[in-house]
Amino acid sequence: MIVGQQKKAEEIIKMLGEDWESLLIAGCGTCVTVSLAGGEREVEALANLLKLYYGKKGKKVTISTDTITRQCDFEFIDDIGEKIEDHDIILSLACGVGVQHIVQRHPLKIVYPGLNTSFYGATTAVGEWAERCIGCGECVLDRFGGVCPVARCSKSLLNGPCGGSQDGKCEVDDDIDCGWELIYNRLKDIGLLEKLLVYEDPKDWQPYRDGGPRKLTNKEYYDE
Amino acid sequence: MSEPMSLLQKKLEAGHFVVCSELGPPIGANVEFIKKKAQKLVGYVDGVNVTDNQTAIVRMSSIVAAHFAKEEGLEMIIQATTRDRNRIGLQSDILGASSLGLNNVLCLTGDHQSFGMDPGSKNVFDLDSVQLIRAVHDMVHNGVLLNGKEMKVPPRMFIGAAANPFGDPFEMQMMKVEKKIEAGAQFIQTQAIYNLEKFEYWMEEVRKRGIHEKVYIMAGILPAKSVKALRMMKTDVAGMDVPDSLIERMEKCEDPEEEGVRVAIEIIERVRKVEGVRGIHLMPVGWEKITPEIIERAGLYPRPEVE
C-alpha cells in the first residue's frame, strides 16, 4: 500500500493562507487509512484542530469533512462532487495521486495536499510501516530470494553488498537493516546461496521513472 | 595477457612489491595545492589514488586533480564512484581520463551521500561497482560501450576494485570480491587494516579460492596520528575494524604521531610477509606529508624503475 504521513498543522495553516471562507477536508478510505494518516479519524481530528485554531484567531470559517473509499477513482470522487464545488479550498488527506485526481476532476478548484506521500510499504508493527518496493517497473524478486535489493539496499546495488554495512546494519543508519544481509540470509536459508555469484546486468530504468511519467493500458478493458 | 595498460601494471607484472598512496583533491580550485602535494610524493610511490568526492564531500574532480598531479611526474590512479554519475557520465569520464594518459582506475560504489555535507542530494547508483568494472573491462578489452557501440580507439585502463576484509557476513563479501574479478578487476586495494589476525584469515580464504593468482592485492594502510582519529574511524567510518588494543596503545604512548608511524610500519612489515599481498596502499587521510617518512622507514625506498 501507499504509506503517508500527515503534514504538520503549521505547514497546513500556512498553505491555506487567509483568503478563504470554506474548507473541505477530504479523507481517503484505503491506503492512508491503514497508515493512520488520512482516514476518517485523522480527517475529523484535523478538522477539530483547525476549527479550534481559527476560532481562537477569530476568523470565521466553515470546515467540512468527508472521507471517500478512494480518491484515485473518479467514481468515488463524484460521490462528493457537489460538496467539492461548494467549498473554497479542498484539503486532501489522500496520497499525491488522490490530490491530483481531484484536481483533474475539478479543474478550477484549489486543492492542497495534507499529507506527504512517503513510500510503498507494509505494516511492520502497530503504528510502524516500512518501505518494501519502489515501483521500478520490472520486478527482480525472483533472483534475490524475495527480498528487493532495489528498494532495500540504500544504494540499490544488484551485485552484492557495499563494504559499509556492519552487524547487519546499513552504513546510512543503524535503524536500517542491510538489504544485502537480508538477501544473503534468505538465500542461505533456502539453499540458493550460489545465486549470489550470478552477474546482474545494469538495470533498464526505463520502466521506472526514467522513461518519463508512466501509464498502463490493459487492451482487454481499455475503452478509448 | 595483453600488454600492460599502465606503469603500475608493468611494475606489478615485473614482480615488484608496489607502493601506492593517496591524494585528496582540495575543496576549491587550487591547482598549486595539488602540485605541491604531488611533488612531495615523486620518487616515493608507484601510484597515487585521487579520491572521487570521498565521504560524499564536494572536491575537485578526481580526473582533473590526477591530471595536474601527473604533470609533476606521478603515476596516477583515478577513482570512479557510481554515486554521482550514471553509465553515460562514467564511461565518458573513462574515455577522458585515458585520453589524458591516466590509465589506472579504481571502480567504487562510493560512500552514501548521507556521510557528507549534502545529505539532501539525489544519488545515482545507476550501476554498481561490479557493473562499472565490467563496463570498463568491455570498453578497454573489447572496444565496446555498455550500449554495444564500438569504438575505433578504445580507452586504456588498468582496472581496480576495492575489497573490505572486515565486512560481514564474510562469505557474502568474499563472493562479491569473486564477482569483481569475474567482471574484470585486475588489482584490489583493501580497506585500511588494523586487525591483522582478521586480515590474515581473509588472505587465507583469498588463497584458498585462488583469488591472489588472478589479481594483484594491495593492502590498505591508514597511518593515524592520534587516538582521536582512531576512535573516529572505529565509530564513524563505514566498514572499519579498529581493535581496542590499538586504541589503548595510542592512548598510553607519549608521542602519538611517532607511535602512529610505528604502528603503520609494523602493519606494513607484517602484511609484506603474507603470501598473495603484492603491495600496499597508503591512505594517510589528513596526514599526507607523512607518506615519504613511512615509506623510507619501512625500507620501501627507493622505488623500482621499469622500462
A163–B169: do the CB atoms touch at under 8 Å?
A: no
- Hey, are the CB atoms on B163 and A172 less than 8 Å from each other? no
Domain boundary pick from A75, A91, A118: A118
Q: Provide the domain limits for residue A94.
A: 2-118
Comparing CB atoms, the residue among B172, B183, B239 nearest residue A199 is B183
pLDDT tens-digit profile of B207-237?
A: 999 999 999 999 999 999 999 999 999 888 8
Tell me the pLDDT band of B146, cut-offs 50, 70 and 90.
very high
A139, A114: one domain: no
Say whether both A188 and A100 belong to one domain: no
- A140 near B CB under 8 A: no
pLDDT at residue A84 tops 80: yes
Per-residue confidence band for B238, with pLDDT thresholds at 50, 70 and 90: confident
Last residue of a domain, one of A118, A144, A174: A118
pLDDT at B51 over 70: yes
Averaged pLDDT, B106-117: 96
Same domain for A169 and A77: no
The answer to whether residue A166 scores a pLDDT higher than 90 is no
Residue-range domain boundaries for chain B: 7-297
Question: Residue B295 pLDDT > 80, yes or no?
Answer: yes
Mean residue pLDDT of chain B comes to: 96
pLDDT for B198 equals 96
The tally of domains found in chain A comes to 2
From the list B125, B182, B191, which residue is nearest A163 (CB)?
B191
Give the global pTM: 0.96
Is A177 near chain B, with CB under 8 Å? no
Q: What is the CATH number of domain B7-297?
A: 3.20.20.220
What pLDDT is attached to residue B235? 86
Residue A128 resides in a domain: no
Residue of B nearest to A204 (CA): B126
Is A219 within a domain? Answer: no
Pair (A144, A86) in one structural domain: no
* pLDDT tens column, B175-207: 999 999 999 999 999 999 999 999 999 999 999
Same domain, A105 and A51: yes
- Read off the pLDDT of each residue in B113-130 and give the average, rounded to a whole number: 97
Average pLDDT in chain A: 97
Pairwise CA distance, residues B26 & B48, whole Å: 15
Backbone angles phi, psi at A124, to 5 degrees: -105, -15
- pLDDT category at A223 given cuts 50, 70, 90 is confident
Answer with the one of A118, A148, A170 that is the final residue of a domain.
Answer: A118
Would residue A38 count as lying in a domain? Answer: yes
Q: Determine the pLDDT at residue B1.
A: 53
Q: Is residue A224 part of a domain?
A: no
Contacts A–B by Cβ distance under 8 A: 95
Pair (A77, A113) in one structural domain: yes
Does A218 reside within a domain?
no
Q: What is the pLDDT of residue A72?
A: 98
Whether residues A39 and A90 fall in one domain: yes
Residue A222 lies in a domain: no
Q: Is A171 among the domain residues?
A: yes
Is A123 part of a structural domain of the chain? no
For residues A110 and A9, state if they share a domain: yes
What is the per-residue pLDDT for A33?
Answer: 97
